């Protein structure tokens, strides 16, 4: 029932939404893409300069900082989540899991789509989600063959890490933008 409701409300994004919604959806898209771009730029620079072990601490410190600074100018909390998380702070709610199950199906049907969702969460906030697909450059830290020294560095910071073993093209996770005023 929960999932059916969500899928129905998620359709909002494909049909003309209310003007207010449309503006928020567009802002959410922009925030997600900025987070993706800034993170990716810093991560790749760190990887190139000093390798994946060092880049893990960059990601560990900078991912939450970049996300926070992006949200600071709006009334939104900007972040990421996944079905299998590295940082337990990124763990999804049940409704986010349902959306990501749907994303997985969509990507399996058509690898060229970047599925999105826009819905009212169970606590009354409006949430936007946008799929994050696993790329080749993510494999050093999220792939099936993470090097032992990288694995060790990950486990030192994230003892409960679940975020390895992903194949390129698979759903890695989702951007999550939570609008605080209902």
Interface with ligand HEC (CB under 6 A): 40, 43, 47, 52, 55-56, 59-60, 63-64, 80, 82, 85-87, 90, 132, 134-135, 137-138, 140-142, 163, 172-173
Contact status, residue 98 vs residue 3, Cβ threshold 8 Å: yes
User: Which CB, 5 or 54, lies closer to ligand HEC?
Assistant: 54
- Smallest distance, ligand HEC to C-beta of residue 123, A: 21
The two tokens of residue 14 are 């494909």
- Smallest distance, ligand HEC to C-beta of residue 22, A: 26
User: Which CB, 7 or 143, lies closer to ligand HEC?
Assistant: 143
User: Which CB, 24 or 86, lies closer to ligand HEC?
Assistant: 86
For 34, 62, 66, 85, 136, the CA distances from 41, given in Å and listed in that order, are: 10, 11, 12, 21, 15
Strand order across the beta sheet in which 171-179 lies? 76-81, 171-179, 126-133, 116-120
Which regions of 8-156 does DSSP assign to beta strands (E)?
76-81, 116-120, 126-133
User: Which CB, 86 or 178, lies closer to ligand HEC?
Assistant: 86
For 57, 76, 156, the CA distances from 50, given in Å and listed in that order, are: 11, 33, 18
- Smallest distance, ligand HEC to C-beta of residue 138, A: 3
Which regions of the chain does DSSP assign to beta strands (E)?
76-81, 116-120, 126-133, 171-179
User: Which CB, 140 or 177, lies closer to ligand HEC?
Assistant: 140
Q: Does an H or E element contain 155, and which? A: helix 148-157
- Smallest distance, ligand HEC to C-beta of residue 85, A: 4
- Smallest distance, ligand HEC to C-beta of residue 163, A: 4
């Amino acid at each position: 029932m929960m999932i059916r409701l969500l899928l129905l409300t998620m359709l909002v994004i494909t049909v003309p939404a209310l003007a207010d919604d449309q503006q928020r959806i567009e802002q959410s898209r922009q925030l997600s893409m900025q987070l993706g771009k800034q993170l990716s730029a810093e991560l790749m620079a760190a990887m190139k300069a000093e390798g994946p072990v060092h880049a893990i601490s960059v990601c560990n410190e900078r991912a939450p900082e970049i996300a926070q600074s992006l949200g600071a100018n709006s009334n939104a909390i900007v972040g990421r989540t996944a079905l299998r998380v590295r940082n337990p702070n990124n763990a999804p709610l049940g409704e986010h899991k349902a959306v990501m199950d749907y994303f997985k199906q969509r990507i399996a049907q058509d690898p060229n789509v970047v599925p999105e969702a826009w819905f009212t969460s169970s606590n009354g906030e409006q949430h936007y989600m946008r799929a994050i697909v696993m790329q080749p450059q993510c494999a050093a830290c999220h792939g099936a063959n993470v090097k032992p020294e990288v694995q060790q560095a990950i486990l030192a910071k994230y003892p409960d890490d679940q975020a390895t073993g992903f194949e390129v093209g698979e759903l890695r996770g989702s951007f999550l933008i939570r609008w605080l005023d209902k």
